[in-house]
Amino acid sequence: MRSFFGWILLIGGLSVALVGLCDAGVAWLSQHPLMYDSSTGVALPPGFAARLSMPRLDSSLYVVEAKHARDLRRGPGYIQGSVKPGDPGNCIIAGHRDLHFRVLKDIRVGDEIELDTARGHFTYRVAATEVVSATDRNALKAVYPRQLTLVTCFPFYYVGRAPKRFIVTAYPLEHF
């Protein structure tokens, strides 16, 4: 009987670990695709809308169209209702702090952010970073005709639902 409960505990523990590994595996595989669609002139794998690069941080990520929260497991995602890069308004991209956007903990004012899409190449410069409450929507409003906003939860190493948001605001290079 004792052995039976030991096996049950072992199987339960392995199941919990496997679920966590599956999420990490989906995140990793989504950012390392084996096939590219270069017919648009931009090497984007199917199902992805852009490639987000932060050269100083040596980071390059595929951006998904975020229709559901679960889409953010595959990569950072465009927030519905925000504009596409190059369009007037605020292009908002959100990502998980413990997956793809962990790199934002090291971003600095003045860093360049590049977005490659089927519509072209767009380069932005980080103008500000700030920490706001999770309910603060003012940080997502456009203050310049064209801007890029990156959003992730904060603190970066918080366990559970993070109480704040880390916001990166960037403007096209011609703004500077």
Q: Rounded CA gap, 79 and 21, in Å?
A: 26
Question: Given 22, 32, 121, 153, which residue is catalytic?
Answer: 153
Is residue 22 part of the annotated active site? The answer reads: no
Report the b/e string of 14-48 with b at 16+ CB within 10 A.
Answer: eeeeeeeeeeeeebeebbeeeeeeeeeebebeeeb
Integer-rounded Cα Rg, in Å, for the chain is 19
Is residue 153 part of the annotated active site? The answer reads: yes
Question: Given 22, 68, 91, 96, which residue is catalytic?
Answer: 96
Which positions are annotated as active-site residues? 96, 153
